[in-house]
């Protein structure tokens, strides 16, 4: 795989996938990593247009295609926009389990965005924010001093960063699952999804982009699954307000329509890569895109306070 695409693929997993991989059982492999050596990701089949489907509690959860989303972020924004992300210093003000879990998901997406644009200082600030929230959730071991040192040593090796952060989230995930705290895991997932959607909506609002609109519309199924997960782990009705807001967004997504045309896969024998190609399109009116953007923005800003 082209090294530039590989780096883009790796870093966007941090932004849109690593929080999901924290929770999704299909990502629990036995891959080992070293501190200083980048590792090649064993990706041999790339779907150039559709989302990635993974499993959580027997349910399919869809996250955007990492290659295309990374390219879209680069094309749409061109440069780092600090106003898009939740300031790292806000971590200290989240004092409840609910707010800490949601914003741990938010900060996971923000870390990926900062890393995508090579913002090393910002990335380290977000590592500290993750440590603060993880400590408040009693999963501090996932983002401890050794993790921060390992991340800093590999700052320029984005393939390695993906593995390092996945390992940290997996450590936290195992702790939560073993201690029957899947309600917290579901909130972290929700925070990451909402922040990722916020990025897409805001970038499209700055300059309308049909491909980003496709990515937004493709999240229709993801939202339905997220609602199911949050409903199933709604301890003491903690998620009621969040579920109400997400259901309002889901009502809008019900207006999204899809079309699909199959095309033959293309195989690059020399690189051992098969690319799945098909034409799929999302049908959304301009008014619907604006309405979804407004709802996502309001919910996200309420979460970060």
pLDDT of 283-298, one tens digit each? 999 999 999 999 999 9
Compute, in degrees rounded to 10, the torsion defined by CA atoms 81, 7, 14, 269: 140
**112/277 Cα distance (integer angstroms):** 27
The stretch 192-205 carries a mean pLDDT of 88
pLDDT tens-digit series, residues 207-261: 888 888 888 898 888 898 889 889 988 989 999 999 999 999 999 999 999 887 7
pLDDT-derived band of residue 49, with 50, 70 and 90 as boundaries? Answer: very low
pLDDT-derived band of residue 30, with 50, 70 and 90 as boundaries? Answer: very low
Q: How many CB atoms lie within 10 A of CB 226?
A: 24
Kindly list the domain boundaries of the chain, sorted by start residue: 3-304
pLDDT-derived band of residue 172, with 50, 70 and 90 as boundaries? Answer: low
Backbone angles phi, psi at 72, to 5 degrees: -65, -40
Here the tokens at position 154 are 């590999």
Here the tokens at position 301 are 């800003």
Asked if residue 101 lies in contact with residue 173, where contact means CB atoms within 8 angstroms, the answer is no
Task: Report in angstroms the alpha-carbon separations of 93 from 98, 196, 200, 287.
Answer: 12, 22, 26, 35
Among candidate residues 286, 294, 297, the one with its CA nearest the CA of residue 255? 286
**38/174 Cα distance (integer angstroms):** 25
pLDDT tens-digit series, residues 119-140: 888 888 988 898 899 889 887 6
**128/139 Cα distance (integer angstroms):** 14
Asked if residue 184 lies in contact with residue 96, where contact means CB atoms within 8 angstroms, the answer is no
């Amino acid at each position: 795989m082209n090294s530039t695409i590989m780096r883009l693929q790796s870093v966007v997993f941090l932004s849109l996938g690593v929080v999901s991989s924290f929770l999704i059982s299909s990502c629990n492999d036995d891959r080992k990593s070293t501190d200083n050596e980048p590792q090649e990701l064993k990706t041999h089949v790339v779907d150039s247009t559709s989302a990635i489907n993974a499993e959580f509690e027997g349910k399919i959860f869809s996250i955007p295609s990492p290659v295309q989303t990374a390219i879209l972020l680069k094309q749409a924004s061109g440069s780092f926009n600090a106003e898009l992300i939740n300031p790292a210093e806000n971590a200290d003000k989240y004092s409840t389990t609910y707010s800490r879990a949601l914003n741990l998901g938010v900060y996971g997406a923000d870390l990926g965005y900062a890393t995508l644009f090579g913002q090393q200082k910002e990335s380290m600030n977000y590592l500290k924010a993750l440590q603060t929230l993880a400590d408040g959730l009693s999963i501090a071991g996932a983002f401890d001093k050794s993790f921060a040192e390992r991340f800093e040593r590999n700052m320029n090796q984005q393939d390695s960063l993906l593995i390092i952060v996945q390992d940290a989230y997996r450590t936290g995930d195992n702790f939560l699952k073993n201690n029957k705290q899947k309600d917290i895991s579901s909130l972290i997932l929700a925070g990451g999804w909402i922040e990722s959607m916020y990025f897409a909506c805001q970038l499209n609002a700055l300059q309308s982009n049909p491909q980003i609109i496709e990515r937004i519309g493709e999240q229709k199924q993801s939202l339905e699954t997220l609602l199911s997960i949050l409903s199933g782990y709604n301890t003491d009705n903690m998620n009621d307000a969040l579920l109400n807001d997400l259901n309002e967004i889901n009502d809008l997504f019900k207006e999204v329509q899809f079309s699909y045309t199959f095309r033959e896969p293309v195989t690059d024998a020399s690189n051992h890569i098969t690319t799945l190609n098909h034409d799929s399109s999302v049908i959304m009116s301009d008014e619907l895109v604006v309405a979804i953007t407004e709802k996502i923005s309001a919910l996200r800003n309420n979460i970060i306070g």
